Structure 1
Amino acid sequence: MKSTSLAPSVDTSPPATATAAPAAETVVIKIGKHDVPVVKGGLYDRFRSRPPLSVIAAESPAADLSWFKGITKEKVDIGFESWSPNFYYENSRVTAIFTADLARLRELIPPKVLEQVQPLQVWPGKGVVALTAYAYHYCDNDSYNEIGLSVVTNKPGSSNWGPFSLMGQSFSDDFWGYVLKLPVDTELAQVRGVVGYNLPKWLTRIDYSEGDNNVVVTIYDSQTQALDVTLQTRKLDVSSSKETLVTNSFTNVDPRGRLTTGYTTSRQLRHASTSSADAVKLMLTDGSLSRFIASLKLGKMLKYEYVPDFQAALYAPSLLKSDARR
């Protein structure tokens, strides 16, 4: 298998196939117009995004829940009744940030979104994308894995100063983007994300595994069940890291054609980063997600983030002011 930490190459080896993991017992619930299987007796089955923190403390006594105590949930209608924000109590992630072809990124963002935000140009012809693998070990939606591929943009209504805007977002830990792809490995996460948050989610197998020195994430093609993308990253020293709060916001279009924004605030408990290219290996095949990533013409890896321990609050999307009266 060929691999590179910069521009990914196509793997010509025989594809691996997905094997089904033992299925947990499920019950079917209604989300909007969808019948969705969820883990029987899981947090979502019992509490529908509003579990008491006392329950979380009893089921996960090692979790520090102090941050969540200062956040109030509100009932929302996002195509179904829910509570915002959605809480993620124990999670891990790895993120690789690459340069990519600016013209291609512009092609992939809907014209209406481009009226408000544009890809940040870090140097001529090059924008920035972030590829993130999430492992949500324990959250209001039970547990699941997710892969996020996003274009880094300016904030709606603000000037786009390219690399200066990127540095400003980095210094303030307040990032904006447009989500290109967001596969997940549970139907609950898929339906909630598509119906409630207008996000490009689909269901496929995602494996997130940790070794002694690395994290290996494998993503399978939803149509062929063959190995599609492999992301292998190095574990970094997080012993001296300090707690930080990071906000990630996105702009997209709802089913009525209106512009919306949503955001997540993350409490990073242990984290580290590096710009060393050998910290990340991205391996592609001829799968559908691999072909899409290859079309972005990834270049230099700007930054790698290793976050083995974080918590998060995901807020329901709201209309941009320009579309709020429609």
Structure 2
Amino acid sequence: MACAQIPAMGDRTHPWLTDQTGTAFNPPYPYRQMTIRNLAFTGAILSAALNPAWADGTPDATPSPTTTIDIAGHQVPVVKGGLYDRYRSNPPLAVIEAEAPDVDLSWFKALKKEKVDIGFESYSPNFYYKNSRVTAIFTADLDRLRELMPAQILQKVQPLQVWPGRGLVALTAYAYHYCDNDSYNEIGLSIITTRPDGASFGPLTLMSQAMSNDFWGYVLKLPVNTELARVRGVVGYNLPKWVTGIQYRETDSSVIVEILDAETGNVDVTLETRKLDKLSSKVSMVTNSFTNIDQQGQLTTGHATSRQLAHASSSSAEAVNLSLTDGSLSTFIKTLKLGKMLKYEYVPEFQSALYAPGPL
């Protein structure tokens, strides 16, 4: 989850333009202030979509050979001879430098990894050396957001209220091109919240988080396209992950992300965003923290610190097109009663360090 300073403004809305749901969930709420259109993309074969090569936008690439390893009792296929197969989240930076000489490792050299037990032996932080992402932040129904958060969590954090009855969610598509876990794609859908035990003053609280580049959230959905990412995320970080096809590709002017329905293999959600001009190359450090409940029922928190190397943002609704279908993730998103898109972030180049969770 990531966001930037958001101005206070009215929440003018209008009905959905791409309503195809026929499920038992509540019908779509008539809130919409972003450009939505149906995008005609050819559905891909699910097994090909799960290939990590899609992280580079090349779904026709030859699949890498795999080997199977044990992680906390799970038999997990990983890239044979890949970083995780060889080093289990602790590769020497000299190896990274040799394999990816174009990557600036100066920041990682200042960070120290520690061996941790997160349900299996690992190292913290986990390094993400070369990545891209796009994030769109929308208003959403505040009552619905509270319904989705466990009572234990609500005792510590609350959804940020930007105006009466409206909270915020962040939809982020990540392409991890090169990291300790090899490469994979991920979609994050998160509620933006207060800090633990912190007061909420509406937009002022959000502006405070934005000014300090220190954001808090509760993760609702986090699909990934490799089993390695799923098992590590569920067992080690208590995150709601499942495996499905995710394609993150680029054209000259757009980033296009397609998320497949894990059950049907059909395209479920399509996010198309504009490549923004006037990218800033000023390094920006951003911390995103999350709260959740571990497998013992205890409150935990984790965080990731990102070093943004190229980034830009926009508040124009024309920069983002979201297409929803009758798939499971689309149907869930519709129950959030999304409204105005407040902020879009285009970050074609960033690095990140993900720290192991601990007690809240």
Output the amino acid matched with 1:257. G
The DSSP-based 3-state class of the residue aligned with 2:106 is coil
Counterparts of 1:35 and 1:76 in 2: how far apart (Å)? Answer: 21
Counterparts of 1:94 and 1:239 in 2: how far apart (Å)? Answer: 13
Matches within 5 A, 1:208-287: 208-287=248-327
| Alignment partner of 1:28 is 2:68 | yes
| Alignment partner of 1:119 is 2:159 | yes
Matches within 5 A, 1:1-326: 6=33, 16-21=43-48, 22-320=62-360
Output the amino acid matched with 1:195. V
Tell me which moved more, 16-25 or 209-218. Answer: 16-25
Q: Return the offset for 1:240.
A: 3.8
Q: Return the offset for 1:238.
A: 4.2
Output the amino acid matched with 1:184. V
The DSSP-based 3-state class of the residue aligned with 1:20 is helix
Q: Is the 8 A contact 2:35 2:318 kept in 1?
A: no
Q: Is the 8 A contact 1:12 1:285 kept in 2?
A: no
What is the TM-score when the length of structure 2 is the normalising length?
0.86
What is the TM-score when the length of structure 1 is the normalising length?
0.94
Output the amino acid matched with 2:229. A
Q: Is the 8 A contact 2:35 2:317 kept in 1?
A: no
Q: Is the 8 A contact 2:39 2:270 kept in 1?
A: no
The DSSP-based 3-state class of the residue aligned with 1:189 is helix
Counterparts of 1:28 and 1:221 in 2: how far apart (Å)? Answer: 25
For residue 323 of structure 1, what is the aligned residue in structure 2?
none
Task: Kindly provide the CA deviation profile for residues 30-50 of structure 1, in whole angstroms up to 9, marking residues without a partner as x.
Answer: 111111010000000000000
Q: Return the offset for 1:239.
A: 4.0
Name the % identity: 67
Q: Is the 8 A contact 2:279 2:312 kept in 1?
A: no
Structure 1: state its 5+ residue gaps.
321-326
Counterparts of 1:221 and 1:35 in 2: how far apart (Å)? Answer: 23
Q: Deviating runs (4+, > 4 A) in structure 1?
A: 2-5, 7-15
Q: Is the 8 A contact 2:270 2:324 kept in 1?
A: yes
For residue 324 of structure 1, what is the aligned residue in structure 2?
none
Tell me which moved more, 9-18 or 217-226. Answer: 9-18
The DSSP-based 3-state class of the residue aligned with 2:47 is coil
Q: Is the 8 A contact 2:290 2:302 kept in 1?
A: yes
For residue 54 of structure 2, what is the aligned residue in structure 1?
none
Counterparts of 2:94 and 2:278 in 1: how far apart (Å)? Answer: 29
* Cα separation, partners in 2 of 1:234 and 1:31, compared to 1, 3 Å: same
Task: Kindly provide the CA deviation profile for residues 62-96 of structure 1, in whole angstroms up to 9, marking residues without a partner as x.
Answer: 00000000000000000000000000000000000
* Cα separation, partners in 2 of 1:18 and 1:9, compared to 1, 3 Å: farther
Output the amino acid matched with 2:348. P
Q: Is the 8 A contact 2:270 2:323 kept in 1?
A: yes
Structure 2: state its 5+ residue gaps.
1-16, 20-31, 49-61
* Cα separation, partners in 2 of 1:91 and 1:17, compared to 1, 3 Å: closer
Number of equivalenced pairs: 320
* Cα separation, partners in 2 of 1:148 and 1:8, compared to 1, 3 Å: farther
Task: Kindly provide the CA deviation profile for residues 262-284 of structure 1, in whole angstroms up to 9, marking residues without a partner as x.
Answer: 00000000000010110000000
Q: Return the offset for 1:241.
A: 3.3
Q: Is the 8 A contact 2:213 2:285 kept in 1?
A: yes
Q: Is the 8 A contact 1:7 1:298 kept in 2?
A: no
Counterparts of 2:36 and 2:346 in 1: how far apart (Å)? Answer: 23
Task: Kindly provide the CA deviation profile for residues 12-43 of structure 1, in whole angstroms up to 9, marking residues without a partner as x.
Answer: 98993534324321111111111101000000
Counterparts of 1:267 and 1:274 in 2: how far apart (Å)? Answer: 20
- State the superposition RMSD in angstroms: 2.0
Q: Is the 8 A contact 1:149 1:181 kept in 2?
A: yes
Q: Return the offset for 1:187.
A: 0.2
Counterparts of 1:207 and 1:124 in 2: how far apart (Å)? Answer: 36
* Cα separation, partners in 2 of 1:7 and 1:107, compared to 1, 3 Å: farther
Counterparts of 2:286 and 2:194 in 1: how far apart (Å)? Answer: 16
Q: Return the offset for 1:57.
A: 0.4
Counterparts of 1:14 and 1:87 in 2: how far apart (Å)? Answer: 33
The DSSP-based 3-state class of the residue aligned with 1:44 is helix
Task: Kindly provide the CA deviation profile for residues 146-172 of structure 1, in whole angstroms up to 9, marking residues without a partner as x.
Answer: 000000000101112121111101111
